[in-house]
Amino acid sequence: MEKIFQKLALSSASLVFVLLVGIFITLYSAAKPAIDEFGFDFITNPDWNKEVPIEISSSTAVTPSTNMSDKASSEVKDASIEDEDDMMLDDEDDDMMLDDEDDDVTTKTIYGGLVPIVGTLLTTLIALVFALPIAMGIAVFLAEIAPKNISNVVGIAIELLAAIPSIIFGMWGLYYFAPIIADMFGGYQVSLLTAGLVLGVMILPFMAAITRDSMNTTPAVLKESAYALGATKFEVIKDIIFPYSKVGIIGSIILALGRALGETMAVAFLIGSIFVLPQKITDPTISIPVAMANNFGEASGLGESALFYLALILFIISFAVISIAKFYFLKKAK
């Protein structure tokens, strides 16, 4: 009995290892066709689901034609994004280019991940820039300023905000928050900016709550001895609490960043879901999770493989980010 129980526990624990390795291998092998086809140029290629003549399929030759057709093809794709297999539209789109070539060249579809990769990084950046100062303010308020009972109540409220499903943030963001932002900054209601800000609102409570926890590890005597020297609250926070809990706070921020990188639903409503590099912050674009959410169902063959390639990239980025947070910062904080 003892042996069986122990074996069960061990195999459950090993399951974590198996799952993680399994996720990696599965993503890799599903992405393999796309990796073989596009290599690392995938990361720098802004064209998604684009027909190109087969002769000039090498990536260097593709790039020049890209900028030219960017605007035109994007507008068409904008409309057709939900149904990729709509070959007709794409063919028409590329007609102008093709006219110059031999008429009987066969074409193939290429996929590049630059747009969703950039979209992911930029929305995360905007979210972070927006959320960081507010989250720090909230954490300081909860840990140092508010009387205990207020701090408890507000703390719970903030944690509840963190528990609200992300799809709710997305819907609220699209119908109530984005119109206001669009009025203020101009541009579209669905854009990098609105997606980033809603993402920021979403990670705000999480970031505030764990930052507060880090700040609370500062021993009371340490604070008291600074006050005993005549320091103001601001000085105690700046000179004692922040330095003391610095590693924990940075770890918390990175953890929140990891969340933002992988967030799907809050962004899906707001980013516009078009494979176009944004020229301005108020332009619509797409992120990796949203590209997957909206295109996975219809994709097949190389398109599906390219989505797995994106998933692999996202997985590796978030794995790296979280490992840094865990091993470098949060371990030290303990």
Partner 1 sequence: MPVLNIKKFSFTYPGVEHPSLKNINLPIKRHAITALIGPSGCGKSTLLRSMNRIHDLYPGNKYEGKIEFTDQDKSVSDILEIKKENEFIELRQKIGMIFQKPTPFPMSIFENVAYGLKIAGVKNKTELADRVEVALKGSALWKEVHDRLDKSAMGLSGGQQQRLCIARAVAVKPEILLFDEPTSALDPISTGAIEELIVELKKDVSIAIVTHNMQQASRISDFTAFMYLGDLIEFDKTENIFLNPKEKKTEDYITGRFG
Partner 2 sequence: MRLIINKIFLGLSIFSALIGLAFLAWILTTLFIKGLSSFHFGLFLNDLIDGGLRNLIVGQMILAGLASIIGIPLGMAAGIYIQEYGRGKYADVIRDLSDIMMSAPSIVIGAFVYAVVVVPTGGTSGFAGAIALAIMMIPVVINTTDNMLSLVPRELREAGIALGASKYKVIIDIVIKAAKVGIMTGILLAFARIIGETAPLLFTSETSNYFSLDLTESFPSLTVSIYDLANEPEESSRDLAWAASFILTVLVLIINLSGRFITRNKK
**Which residue in 125, 171, 247, 281 binds partner 2 (CB under 8 A)?**
171
Separation between Cα atoms, residue 116 and residue 118, nearest integer Å: 5
Give whichever of 192 and 204 is closer to partner 2, judged by the CB atom. Answer: 204
Quote the CA–CA distance of 290 and 296 in Å, as a whole number.
10
Instruction: Choose which of 103, 147, 183, 184 interacts with partner 1 (CB under 8 A).
Output: 147
According to the binding rule CB under 8 A, does residue 230 interact with partner 1? yes
Euclidean distance between the first and final Cα of the chain, in Å? 37
The least CB distance from residue 323 to partner 1, in Å, is: 25
In the region spanning residues 239 to 278, those forming contacts with partner 1, defined by CB under 8 A, are 239-240, 243-244, 246
For partner 2, give the closer residue by CB, 73 or 287.
Answer: 287
Express the helix, strand and coil content of the chain in percent, nearest 5 each.
75, 5, 20
Contact 164, 266 (CB under 8 A): no
Q: Which are the contacts of 188, defined by CB distance < 8 A and separation ≥ 6?
A: 182, 194, 272, 282, 283, 284
Using rule CB under 8 A, residue 329 touches partner 1: no
Per rule CB under 8 A, is residue 300 in the interface with partner 2? no
Sign of CA dihedral 257, 327, 211, 149: positive
Where does this chain touch partner 1 (CB under 8 A) — which range of 174-182, 238-246, 290-298, 321-329? 238-246
When the beta carbons of 29 and 225 are compared against partner 1, the nearer one is 225
Separation of alpha carbons 267 and 143, rounded Å? 30
Task: Specify the stretch interacting with partner 2 by CB under 8 A; choose among 55-63, 65-73, 242-250, 306-314.
Answer: 306-314
Distances, alpha carbon 47 to alpha carbons 57, 66, 307, in Å: 13, 7, 13
Under rule CB under 8 A, which residues in 17-56 are in contact with partner 2?
Answer: 17, 19-20, 22-23, 26-27, 30
Binding site for partner 1 (CB under 8 A): 147, 219, 221-232, 235, 239-240, 243-244, 246
